[in-house]
Structure formats: structure tokens, C-alpha cells
Structure 1
């Protein structure tokens, strides 16, 4: 598969002049199958090609699934010394890589949060059985995965740190997706660094203000960073939404956040 076709169809055409491409030199990486009580599912991993244990980072996909951008992020983290693993969290509901955005949304709305959290737990178990350090565990996620990052930070007590990139903060509760980040602030098991765009039309300023208010009231160690003028998906270097200054600053903050919290 070429680098271009490795991106989800809904993201085409790729913005090539700003796109970051990370090679696999010095890494172990590839597609794997993870077993779980709900059934096996695929994932992509990348890790330093040297003995561990390595700190673990779970990488939670955008709405487009585990396409080339998410795989590249896993390799970026591996270059920093992490064992990064990106599970295919829609696998049981369908393969979204060849679909248009409206079709993807139809699938995403059928993916139960309880399934997602269980598959992340199984992914973590795989990482710990394959060179991961049980004392150094983090998670990061983008867009759809940003919301999941918050939920997982309230779910997994072994987690040390989390970084959520522009995940939706609230919405209509359903049996499939019963809670949103603003519902779980008091339950966080690990501090979350929240990276959001001030010009994100899908996550308005009042939602960010409410998030900050709840974090303050809960005396949470989590932090909110808002980039004025940055749109949704400002870290997606392969899309027109990319904003290099905000993305670069956010990535540096991610690195410092993980280090600060022992990951």
C-alpha cells in the first residue's frame, strides 16, 4: 500500500507540503492481533528495537480509524522511547478506511464505549506482555479519540498521564455512549492535559469554560491549554486544518506532561 492510499479515503486529498512522515529506523513495528474477552481485534504498534521495559502509550484513533497518520504518531512516540499501540477500535462494527465521512459516522454511532474501554484494556495487557513497563502508562487520543482519552482516564487506575486533543466534551447520552468528558471530571484516575483549539466550531468556548470550571472545582491536576484561532484537528499535519505552531507546542507539552508524571 502506498503512503497516499494508506490514509483513510475520507481524508483525501492529503496535504503533502506540511505532512510529517516518520520512518521506522531503529524500531520494531507492525500490525498485530490482540485477544480479548470480546474477541480478537487488530492493532498497530511501534517500539524501540532494544530491550525494555519501555513506557507505554495507548494511541486512540481519530474518527478515520488507524490510518497512516495514527501509525505515524505511534512511530513518533516510539522514536522517543515509548512502546506505542494503536488498536482498531471500530473493528467489530466495520472497516472505515474506504468510506466517506457520513458513512463513517453511521458506524461510529454504533460503537459502544464499554467495548472501546475493554479493547483499550486488552491493548494495555498486550503491551505489558510484550516489553511494556507496568509502572509507566499513558494515553493520548485525537478528535473521536480525544473524548475516549478522557473516559479512559476515569476508567483505568494504572494510568499515570493522559493527553486529549480536541475531544468533544459533551453531547446527547445514549446507551451506546452514555457519558462525555464533562461527566467524569470528578472520577479521573490520572491527570489529563487537554489541548483544544479556540476556533473549533464543534467545541465552543462555553464548553471549554465549563471544563475549566469543573477542573478548578475538583481541584484536579489536569490542565487545559487553548490555542486561540486554531481550528479542530490542528495537529493533523496531513489536512488543511493543520496549524504548525499550535501542533508543535502541543506535542512539546505532551512530552513534558508525560515526563512530569513519570511516563
Structure 2
């Protein structure tokens, strides 16, 4: 876990997982990130279909947040993988931003089996009790189920992309390695030289399995993701023949620079990253 997400957080609260998921998926903010910054952006739902959905994963019902243009059919699909804090208002807003750009965007609650990520105020406990128990095998299967849901509900999964932030950034790299149907990914400050779940491989170790183009967006002042680990990944991708992936490192920029609800937000890097993200998907068949 990155230091920026751990410092100055109070002890966790005790919430009912069922009631929390039913009432807050995609709405409000995770307890660990309160209070939110005054600069927080909000995207309206005008012209959109947006809100919580349920995705079947075998016999399990996984909640998620979905946004898309109203009445849209055969839409390009973008999976949105959350930070460790789960699918709170910022992640839902990212989905709405994609929907305004013409996408069916879906953010599944990938931690729901382990607990209420949004209910914790102490990041260390959140990692130990929830995040570290959500291994790659489960997460990959949940994302596969999300793709299947999209295909059955107006999405063109022949134009499939994935993006994510921090833990979700790592998940983006990981899912591209897992699913050859993904056309492109955009990973925002996802660790590449460490995993969260015991036994899971790092992204550097999985580089040979990453065939589709991935754009990595990182901050040079991110203490949890040393720039030399990004250099290692770039070398591993190149050695494996993936010459289309790219890593962008913003100078003097911290972790979570896209998170407009947090003090780490850096507007110039965030705006540039978002423009690059949309252009990357258009360039690589996700549009």
C-alpha cells in the first residue's frame, strides 16, 4: 500500500456489508477519504443511464456502478477498476465521464466478498482485512463476468478497454495479461513491482503476457512506486515484443494525482492524463 493512502487515517468503523453495498455503491465517499476536497468534480447524469446494477458471477451477485449514453446500443466498453476504497462517488463519476464520451463504463465492487472497503477509516486495516484477501484469480473472474454482463446489455465487447487507479491500476495491467480480448488499457499509478495478495505475481513478472497496448500514467514523486520499477517494466515489455505500450511519468507529481477529491490532486497532470486516456482508447480500437 502506498504511504499517501495510509497516513493520518483513524480507526475503522463497523458497518453491515449488505446494507452498505445496497445503499452506497457509487454514491457518497469512502470513510477513509473524508473529508473530501472542495475541488471535487461532479459529472451530471443528463443524457445518461447511470446507477447501480448487479452482475452474476456464478451464484454470487456482485454489485457494480454503470453509466452509458441513454438508449445507447453497441457501445464500446470500459471497465473501471477502483482504488482500495471501492466504488465510491469518485469512481462512479469517472464512469459518468466515460459515458459522456460515448462509452458503456462499469465499475464492479471487487472487494465485496471480503468486506465493505468504503466503511474503513484506517487504510492499514482495510488492506489487511479486505484488499489482501481479494486475489488475482477472483478479481479476474469478476472482471470476466463484468464483460459478459456488458455484452448482454448493449456493449460491444469487441471494443473492450480497462482503466483503473492505484490498486485498480495494477489490476488494469493484470487484466490485460489475463484477457486477450482487451484492446487497450490505461493504468493510473498502479504498482508494477509488488502485489497485494500473497502469491500473486508482480506486473513486471507478468510482462510477457501483456500483449495489448497499455498506457501507464505515473507521478515521479510517488514514494510508493519508484521510477526505476517503471523502467524495469518498460524493459520487460520491450523484451517480450510489446512495443506499443507506453509509460508517462509526470515530474514533481505525487501518487493519486487524478483523485480530485483528495489533496494529492494535480489538475494539470490529471487533465493531461485524461486527454491521453481517451486518445489512447480511440487509437487502439476502444471507441
Which TM-score band applies after superposition, normalised by the shorter structure?
Answer: over 0.9
* Preserved CA contact (<8 Å) 2:258 2:269: yes
Q: Which residue of 1 aligns with 2:217?
A: 195
* Preserved CA contact (<8 Å) 2:194 2:203: no
For the residues of structure 1 that align with 2:222 and 2:211, how far apart are their CA atoms? 27
**TM-score (normalised: structure 2):** 0.87
For the residues of structure 1 that align with 2:225 and 2:140, how far apart are their CA atoms? 23
Aligned runs of 1:101-112 on 2, under 5 Å?
A: 101-106=123-128, 107-112=130-135
**Alignment pair present for 1:81 and 2:102:** yes
Give 3-state SS (helix, strand or coil) of 2:145's partner: helix
Q: Which residue of 1 aligns with 2:143?
A: 120
For the residues of structure 1 that align with 2:181 and 2:230, how far apart are their CA atoms? 27
**Alignment pair present for 1:143 and 2:166:** yes
Task: Spell out, residue by residue over 1:170-225, the C-alpha distance to the aligned partner (whole angstroms, 9 max, x if none).
Answer: 12686x44112111111113110000110000001211221222223223110010
Task: Spell out, residue by residue over 1:218-238, the C-alpha distance to the aligned partner (whole angstroms, 9 max, x if none).
Answer: 231100100011100000001
Q: Which residue of 1 aligns with 2:265?
A: 242
* Preserved CA contact (<8 Å) 1:44 1:71: yes
* Preserved CA contact (<8 Å) 1:113 1:177: no
**Alignment pair present for 1:36 and 2:57:** yes
Aligned runs of 1:139-178 on 2, under 5 Å?
A: 139-171=162-194, 176-178=198-200
Runs of at least 5 residues in structure 2 that lack an aligned partner in the other structure: 1-22
* Preserved CA contact (<8 Å) 2:140 2:175: yes
177 and 25 in structure 1: CA distance in 2 versus 1, 3 angstrom threshold: farther
For the residues of structure 2 that align with 1:216 and 1:70, how far apart are their CA atoms? 32
For the residues of structure 1 that align with 2:59 and 2:213, how far apart are their CA atoms? 28
Report the count of equivalent residues: 259
For the residues of structure 1 that align with 2:231 and 2:177, how far apart are their CA atoms? 20
For the residues of structure 1 that align with 2:271 and 2:180, how far apart are their CA atoms? 29
Task: Spell out, residue by residue over 1:34-56, the C-alpha distance to the aligned partner (whole angstroms, 9 max, x if none).
Answer: 11126221111000002311000
Equivalent residue for 1:98, pick from 105, 110, 119 = 119
**TM-score (normalised: structure 1):** 0.95
Give 3-state SS (helix, strand or coil) of 2:163's partner: strand
Structure 1 stretches (4+) deviating beyond 3 angstroms?
Answer: none
